[in-house]
Structure formats: structure tokens, C-alpha cells
Structure 1
């Protein structure tokens, strides 16, 4: 099944490349640049340090914001599950934060913060935090009551309860939150970099737009796609390793 899926995916990709290349033969380069031009720009991004630093900066910003959102959100979600009063207080606030469009957060951050890095960090944190928190909260509440009571019979310490019950129970849903937030925050980070930043993929995309350089714009877009795919693979590998104890369904 996996091999068949990969085969079909490669086939669809090859067809799209052929269609794009044919379109480049009958259109202007700023509309449909040839594949070889896009590939040359992609190679230059990965081999020229002065250009690659823009990609690395964006990746670093995304991961830094996600790590902080993950740590704060997981802790807050578990605390909300353990304390009903805290949940009743914080949940409406998080729901409000989650409902604010990402573009609105960009405008708010520009007004609030003068420092660009702090601005981008805040935007990524505030857009990823609610999802991590709600996933941790729901996972905690979905812990089997029978399993919880069985473990409490042995009178475990609080640290043992976290290690043996809570952490294994919430981990699968936290991986889901990582996968969802990765794509969302990547898009948000690019929008944030368009405002005031002089380094990063967003800045490079803005420069390509001002020069009508479609080839470079697509190359930078592919850099983001490659980053997301690679990190998704890392998450999938880590998940399969940490959760190898779970029974696997046969397909």
C-alpha cells in the first residue's frame, strides 16, 4: 500500500512538472519559468551560505516558537485537566486567542513590539499555543478511569503518576498537535517576516515579488515545502519509536 501511494505520488508530480515545463515554452518567464531555472535557484539556495542563512533563520524561528508553545501548552493543558477552576478561567481566553486571525496577530505584534525577532516569536507562540493546550487537555481527560484507579491502588508518587500514566497517555495527541502546528506556523512565520524583517524566507519572497522573479519565488516556496516534509518525517520516525508499544492495525 505504501509503495503504491509513493508510486502514484511520484507519477502525479512528474505530470505536473511536464505540464509546467510545456507552459514555460509558450509563456513569459515571470509567469511560468522553466524547471531548470527553478532547480538552479534551488541549488543556489542550498549551496550559497549568504542565501542559505535566510532559510536557516526562518527554520530556527519556527522551531523556537513551536518548542516554547509546546512546553507551555502541554503544561497548561495538563493543569487545566487537573484543576476545573483553572480550566473554566483559561479556556475562554484560549478560545478567543485561537479565533483571532493570524494576520490580525501580525498587525498587533507590529504595534506592540519594535524588535523583529520578538515580534515573530510572539506571533508563532500565540498561534500555536491554543492547539497544544487543547490537545493536552483533551488527552488528559480521555485517560481511562479504570486505568487511573488501578494505578492509584498502588499509591504512586505524583512523579510516578506522570511518568507511568499521564505522559504516555497524552503523547500520541501531542504528536498530532505538532504535525498540525508545523504547517500552520510555517505559513504564519512567512507572513510575519514580510513585515519589517530583513532576513528570512518571507523577506526573500517579498524581494522576488518586487522583482517579478517567479523562478526564485517558487524556489523559496519549495525550500519551505522541503523543510515541512523533512520535519514531518522526523516526527513520524520519533512517534513510531516512542510509541512502538501501541498495537498496530493490519491493513
Structure 2
């Protein structure tokens, strides 16, 4: 990363927030605003201890597996909806209904339907992320220029060439947007799902910290999730820049 791309304003805003938190912690009880050093000690313990790190990695793996499967199924479904209006007329209302159900309701339904914790968490991530991937793929496919499509057909491309040279470049920007949105949403619903019945994962650890009224540990586990999301956003950004390097850069 070049020096020019460093967000100094963002770093400054973060430092100001940390300074405010530390200042407030000096004049309030530690169970309300624990000092930063206590949170830092717990965070270091989490990432340096094999047992606690396993909880964090388990949650991350659950989220990524659920998102990858949702992405594959949702993108394929969205493209099929875009190609076949009859399928779109049938599937779109179902996806809209699924998307309209609150995530907490899906957690309750999954707890009743599935006894196996891993299957329960996977189902919740899948059912909440899939509609967004499908709608993004559908909308971006439908937005492909008719003139560009007809120009491609003049050269009589094979199906794989049509997908590689026209469809894929057209839908990939919106799919990255869907990934970024679903990453945050899936992280939240995965934690809620882990609060119910799971014995491994960040959600379970947050529940344990809550039962002990250990706010520094709860905040440390929360920071683990924040770091995970930020790192994944950076990785997605790198992939996006690499795949979309052909796009002209906007002048600033």
C-alpha cells in the first residue's frame, strides 16, 4: 500500500475515539468503560492462546463457508432468473419473502428445525445471504447493454466466451458489493446463532463473558470480529482491484 493511499483522517478519528474512551474510563466504573489496557490484555490472550484462537477460527470458517456456498448458489440462481423470465416470475417472490423475514426469526426457525449446530449456523447464513447475491447477479445481468450484447453476438462467440468476455465483467462489480454487504450481515447472524446451543465459537465466548459480567473480554471478542471483517474487506478490495483493473480510474 502506498503512502498516498493511507487514510490519515480515518486513523486520526480512530485515535480520537480511543482517547475519549480512555478518558471516560478514568472517571467511570470499569464495568461501564474498562480501560484500553484491560481490553488489550484480553485481546492478546485470545490471539495468543490456542484454545481461544480456535473459537475465533471456527466462527470465521463458519462464516466463510456459508458465504461461499451462498455466493455460488445465489449467483447461479440470479443469472438463471435473468436469462429466463418465467423462472424469475416464480423465484423472485420467494426470494423477496425470504429476504423480508428478520434474521432473528430465521435463528428461531433453525433452532427448531435442526439439532446439529453446524447445520443450523450454515442454514442461517445461507438463507440470509443468498437473496442478496441472487438479486445483485440478476440486476447486473439485466443491466448489460443491449448494444454491447448484440455487438458480441456478431462475432458468434461460444457460450464460455460470452460469459468470460461480457457477462462476467458486467456482473462482478455488483457481486463484490454483495460480498461486502453480506460479510457484515453474516458475521452478525452467525454470532447470534452461536449464542443458541453452540459450545465453540465467538458467540459462545461472548455468552460466557456476559454471564461473568466480564466487559473487557466481551469487547476483546468483539474486536476480534471487527478485525476479521476489516481484513476480509481489504482482501475483497484487493481482489476487486485486480479483477477490475481494466476499468478507467476516476480523476480526483
Alignment TM class, shorter chain as reference: over 0.9
Q: What is the deviation of 1:13?
A: 1.6
Provide the aligned C-alpha RMSD in A: 1.2
SS in 1 for 2:246: coil
The whole-number CA distance in structure 2 between the counterparts of 1:155 and 1:7 is 50
Q: Which residue of 2 aligns with 1:41?
A: 42
Could you report, residue by residue, the CA deviation over 1:101-123 in whole angstroms, capped at 9, with x for unpaired residues? 00000000000000000000000
Structure 1: stretches of 5+ with no match in the other structure: none
Could you report, residue by residue, the CA deviation over 1:18-62 in whole angstroms, capped at 9, with x for unpaired residues? 221222222222111111110011111111010000110000000
Please identify, of 13-22 and 63-72, the stretch whose mean Cα deviation from structure 2 is larger: 13-22
The whole-number CA distance in structure 1 between the counterparts of 2:55 and 2:234 is 22
The whole-number CA distance in structure 2 between the counterparts of 1:34 and 1:172 is 41
The whole-number CA distance in structure 1 between the counterparts of 2:152 and 2:202 is 49
Is the aligned partner of 1:230 residue 2:213?
Answer: no
Q: What is the deviation of 1:164?
A: 1.4
Q: Which residue of 1 aligns with 2:222?
A: 221
The whole-number CA distance in structure 2 between the counterparts of 1:207 and 1:45 is 14
Could you report, residue by residue, the CA deviation over 1:116-146 in whole angstroms, capped at 9, with x for unpaired residues? 0000000000000000000000010000101
Map of 1:59-208 to 2, 5 A cutoff? 59-208=60-209
Q: 1:195 to 1:151 in 2, by over 3 A?
A: same
The whole-number CA distance in structure 2 between the counterparts of 1:109 and 1:81 is 30
Q: What is the deviation of 1:156?
A: 1.4
SS in 2 for 1:140: helix
Number of aligned residues: 250
Is the aligned partner of 1:249 residue 2:225?
Answer: no
TM-score, with normalisation over the residues of structure 1?
0.97
Q: What is the deviation of 1:5?
A: 7.5
Structure 2: stretches of 5+ with no match in the other structure: none
Could you report, residue by residue, the CA deviation over 1:173-211 in whole angstroms, capped at 9, with x for unpaired residues? 100100110011111111010000011011111111111
Moved over 3 A (4+): 2-5
Q: What is the deviation of 1:4?
A: 8.9
TM-score, with normalisation over the residues of structure 2?
0.97
The whole-number CA distance in structure 2 between the counterparts of 1:173 and 1:13 is 29
Q: What is the deviation of 1:158?
A: 1.4
